[in-house]
Structure 1
């Protein structure tokens, strides 16, 4: 049996709609965010081996809420979710709860940088997040399906590590809330759930 790793970002939150940075703060899912989580759960139902599934989530509320909705769609109990702080979003320091337009107007030098979030004063560094993800990856079982519900930036770093991307390539990835990725033996697959979302 091979090991497959499924990487999901939480669904849309109220802070996402308001263009506020969340980091270690939290905001609940919007109705659209709940629908996104449901669509991902439905898509996963046709792919996941429930018997050999280990399910991880960031302990931040928006990730847990998404994971619980996915569990409901998979027909499994939410108590199977393993909360792991190493999957939390970047701490964005003094920029948490600030709006993106306000930050970019105050710091126009950030406009063209894909990694501009990482310039947050007192924020967490790329190396720090990569180190905690490396620790998590090293503890995973060698076989079976691993499902992880994380965040935009932390998820991008994790996907970059699984593809052996350099720093620049890591930040060229998109950060979807209506799609997820799975990795098996060096290959990556994207599963787009936007069609199911539009049909619901």
Structure 2
């Protein structure tokens, strides 16, 4: 396990705003999403003493790379600090990708009773595969590693659950914020919210 780990979700995207599922397809950040990403970087800077000791790891999907670049700008470091690892990319949602959430749930109302309904997508990635790739990534980390991970909503929940060894049913009770991130150290997890003033429209240009 790494010594310290910050876990971030990408900023709001066009599909997020439209309530569409993205999975492993992509849509760009909205203006709000750009502000969220930059503000997370600025907030991170207040919690990191020596940024040169830290590595930035991003999912390869466009929205996370866009977020990672803005996080680096907020941290005051270059994009050359960003490494890419497909194992922290979003859950594959198969035939549901790009579909509206309300239309999926309206056509299959039984899904509304299932907290993990995302994983029921036809031709989607199953939980065992997601857990395997995340555990494989965690197993390669060293005890002295300090990482800033730019990931996704569902993958981020599962990653945090693996770190905390949460029961399966508790995974889906977690939050998926885009204006806050999580700090993992010594088996504990702390949520860190972005100060509201950093999200003001005149802060990020």
- For residues 54 and 110 of structure 1, the distance between their equivalents in structure 2, rounded to whole angstroms, comes to 39
| CA-to-aligned-CA distance 1:80-137 (integer Å, 9 cap, x gap) | 1111010110110010111001000001011132211100010001110110000111
Q: Once the 2 structures are TM-superposed, how far is the Cα of residue 191 of structure 1 from its aligned partner?
A: 0.4
TM norm structure 1: 0.96
Cross-structure match for 2:43: 43
Equivalent residue runs for 1:23-102 within 5 Å: 23-48=23-48, 49-102=50-103
Cross-structure match for 1:130: 131
Cross-structure match for 2:180: 179
CA change 1:184–1:93 in 2 (3 A) is same
Q: Counterpart of 1:51 in 2: which secondary structure?
A: helix
CA change 1:87–1:114 in 2 (3 A) is same
Q: Where does structure 2 lack aligned partners over 5 or more consecutive residues?
A: none
- For residues 195 and 108 of structure 2, the distance between their equivalents in structure 1, rounded to whole angstroms, comes to 33
Runs of 4+, deviation exceeding 3 Å = 196-200
Q: Once the 2 structures are TM-superposed, how far is the Cα of residue 140 of structure 1 from its aligned partner?
A: 1.4
Paired residues of 1:93 and 1:122 also in contact (CA < 8 A)? yes
Paired residues of 1:39 and 1:196 also in contact (CA < 8 A)? no
Q: Once the 2 structures are TM-superposed, how far is the Cα of residue 72 of structure 1 from its aligned partner?
A: 0.8
- For residues 198 and 63 of structure 1, the distance between their equivalents in structure 2, rounded to whole angstroms, comes to 18
- For residues 198 and 123 of structure 1, the distance between their equivalents in structure 2, rounded to whole angstroms, comes to 34
Paired residues of 2:4 and 2:183 also in contact (CA < 8 A)? yes
Q: Counterpart of 1:111 in 2: which secondary structure?
A: helix
Pairing 1:21–2:17 present: no
> What is the aligned-residue RMSD (CA, Å)?
1.2
Cross-structure match for 1:165: 166
Q: Counterpart of 2:113 in 1: which secondary structure?
A: coil
- For residues 97 and 198 of structure 2, the distance between their equivalents in structure 1, rounded to whole angstroms, comes to 29
Paired residues of 1:90 and 1:154 also in contact (CA < 8 A)? yes
Stretch moving more, 108-117 or 20-29 = 108-117
Paired residues of 2:11 and 2:36 also in contact (CA < 8 A)? yes
Q: Counterpart of 2:28 in 1: which secondary structure?
A: coil
TM norm structure 2: 0.94
